[in-house]
Structure 1
Amino acid sequence: MGYEDNYGPYLWRDDGIGWLGTGDAALLQDKCREPWREFYEPFGDSVTIMTLPHHGSAHNFHPDILTFAAFRYALATTVEARNRVARMRETLGFVETRRIRTHVVDDLRHSRFRVTCERSMP
């Protein structure tokens, strides 16, 4: 299993891969984030890729959502050229300080994030 992006291919060996979509969850607010974390905590060893809440907006982001043990890649799905997402680059920069890769997936033809699942047979 692995993915390929502008950084090139990245392969996971034994730890598997899990994808968590956050939608427009208001995870900056404690009253929303704490139940969300409590619900998803049991899956923490499986969450490898996550879409950031509300397209990566700083108004919905909190660092506590980055604590999943297997978390390696954060996506922001938006049309960045329209400047509709509040401080998205600030959010992505913070995520990268945690050594988590980031990628913006938008409506451009060359924008993509591909996950390929396969198995190797001896």
Structure 2
Amino acid sequence: MSTTKNSTAPMPAVTVSYIPGREASENLGIVFGSSVRSRNFLFDIFAAFKNLFGGEVRSYTRLLDDAQSEATSRMLEQAKKLDADAVVDVHFATSQVAYKAAEIFAYGTAVRLK
């Protein structure tokens, strides 16, 4: 896994406190990213029909997948601004911030690697 600054490889982001095979040389602090998404009227109508018959509500799944991806990207951008090589201890949280609006929040610790 390449983590050089000029590499086009994505910055590693892991849920454990270390990058396997690498040693952190400096803790740069907490980085985070969030995305707030809301449902629209059509999503709710389709979801109501889906509730009648059961099964996955794919429009909501896509909405949450997009929000998680955006929150992760924002977290990694913040880490890049700190000149980090990786983000460890990554966690995700969600909350309702307004009526029919949910936030996906990604956070972790930016580190430099030896």
* TM-score, structure 1 normalization: 0.25
Higher relative contact order (CA 8 A, sep 6+): 2
Q: Which has the higher strand share?
A: 2
